[in-house]
Amino acid sequence: MMTAAPYGIAPGFLLIGAALSLTYLIGFCWRGPGLIKTLVKTGAVAAPAFGISLAGASGWALAGLWACVAGDFLLSRPGEAWLKSGIAAFALGHIFYVLALLTGFGPGFGADWIGGAVPLALLLLGLSTELWLIPHCGPLKGPVRFYVLLILVMGGIAAQLPIPRIPVLAGALTFILSDLILSVELFVLSGGWFGRLAPFFIWFFYYAAQVLLFMGFMG
């Protein structure tokens, strides 16, 4: 997950995660559901999470990472029930990340223009989903609304000081970008050129987001 080995994490776990992530990006993200795809995708995040856990790290950020591991597994399986469970797991992960930001850094809201402008922009983005996303979500409207709220709240908090703004805010915004592409692919525009390219961008930005977030959490 990270380029260094904080808290004494064995580099092997990070290398395994990076290798599995690249394997998933090149060979699996565009394929249909399958057991090997599930194992590669889940392992790409689980290996670094396991290494971080063994190194003695704890707290809300680690809990959030493990929730995302569960989400990766669940979303890799076919069917609406798995999709709902995956959304719930990632929503829980974002709750844990928000708690990590609030308890770990004690952000002061609106301390500068970035701390005010980013939440405003995210609020407008969230409101816009009522026009282009929510009408396409069918019975998942409620869970999707809740998930949108959580990830935008995380982004707004990440913009505050004294949170390490470069890695954490970049990670939060990259996470939002990945989820935006995923939501369009799932609910709005699944076919054509967009449907072929979306899986690559979703995974690339998602994994980059996790790396950036933990550079901030553990740096």
Q: In whole angstroms, what is the distance from residue 140 CA to residue 212 CA? A: 29
- pLDDT band at 42, cuts 50/70/90? very high
Looking at residue 1, what is its pLDDT? 40
Whether the full predicted model's pTM is greater than 0.85, yes or no, is yes
Distance of CA 54 to the CA centre of its chain: 22
Mean pLDDT of 45-70: 90
Looking at residue 8, what is its pLDDT? 56
Looking at residue 218, what is its pLDDT? 81
Q: In whole angstroms, what is the distance from residue 85 CA to residue 214 CA? A: 24
Looking at residue 2, what is its pLDDT? 39
The whole-chain average pLDDT of the chain stands at 92
Mean pLDDT of 190-214: 94
Residues 135-183: tens digit of each pLDDT: 999 999 999 999 999 999 999 999 999 999 899 999 999 999 999 999 9
Q: What is the dihedral of CA 105, 109, 111, 114, to 10 degrees?
A: 100
CA angle 171, 66, 169 (to 5 degrees): 10
C-alpha distances in Å from residue 29, one per residue of 11, 20, 76: 25, 11, 10
156-165 CB burial, b ≥16 within 10 A, e <16 = bbbbbbebbb
Mean pLDDT of 183-211: 94
Looking at residue 5, what is its pLDDT? 43
Looking at residue 9, what is its pLDDT? 62
